[in-house]
């Protein structure tokens, strides 16, 4: 079974490696949406894979690192494409939640990445 929780954060970025004149080379912002998926079996007594609240409490410190920040300033996010940000998130989340099986990160309502490690 797969459970998930959705998070949101606002952040600014620019993409330093795009061709000259590309709109994403200029500083701009997004309201990112992050969905974190955990795979496991429901425990017989609790009936849940894990408590959504524990998932929220574990992920929230990461959201704090990103929220209302310039992503390029954060170590490891010097080239903050959605792809690189999803890898960065995966590497932070997986040690805390080994059941992590998927990340969905939306940069805009129509653009996003799915990462499964
Ligand atoms: N593969 C990727 N392509 C692009 C990324 C990325 O991270 N990975 N990022 C960008 C820019 O950050 C840009 O801000 C987002 O681009 P886009 O989806 O084109 O945004 P728009 O709001 O202009 O698109 P709409 O179609 O109007 O929603 C670019 N490419
Ligand atoms: Zn962007």
Evaluate the CA torsion angle 93, 98, 35, 85 in order and state its sign: positive
Residues in CB range of 30: below 8 A, 6 or more apart: 10, 11, 13, 107, 108
How remote is the CA of residue 98 from the centroid of ligand 2, in Å? 30
Q: Are 52 and 2 in contact (CB under 8 A)?
A: no
Question: pLDDT of 9-66, one tens digit each?
Answer: 999 999 999 999 999 999 999 999 999 999 999 999 999 999 999 999 999 999 999 9
Decide the pairing of beta strands 100-108 and 28-39.
antiparallel
Which ranges of 26-115 would DSSP assign to H, the alpha helix? 52-66, 82-93
Q: Please identify, by atom number, the ligand 1 atom nearest to the C-alpha of residue 28.
A: 14
Active site residue 43: no
Question: pLDDT of 58-70, one tens digit each?
Answer: 999 999 999 999 9
Catalytic residue, chosen from 17, 22, 68, 78, is 68
Domains by residue range for the chain, with CATH: 2-115 (3.30.479.10)
Tell me the average pLDDT across 82-97.
98
Mutation choice for ligand 1 from 12, 23, 24, 83, CB with most ligand atoms inside 8 A? 24
């Amino acid at each position: 079974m797969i459970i998930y929780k959705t998070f949101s954060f606002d952040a600014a970025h620019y993409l330093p490696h795009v061709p000259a004149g590309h709109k994403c080379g200029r500083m701009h912002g997004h309201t990112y949406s992050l969905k974190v998926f955990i795979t496991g079996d429901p425990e017989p007594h609790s009936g849940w894979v894990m408590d959504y609240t524990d998932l929220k409490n574990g992920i929230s410190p990461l959201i704090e690192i990103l929220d209302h920040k310039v992503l390029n300033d954060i170590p490891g996010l010097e080239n903050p494409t959605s792809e690189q940000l999803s890898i960065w998130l995966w590497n932070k989340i997986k040690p805390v939640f080994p059941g992590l099986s998927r990340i969905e990160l939306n940069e805009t309502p129509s653009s996003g990445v799915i990462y499964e490690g």
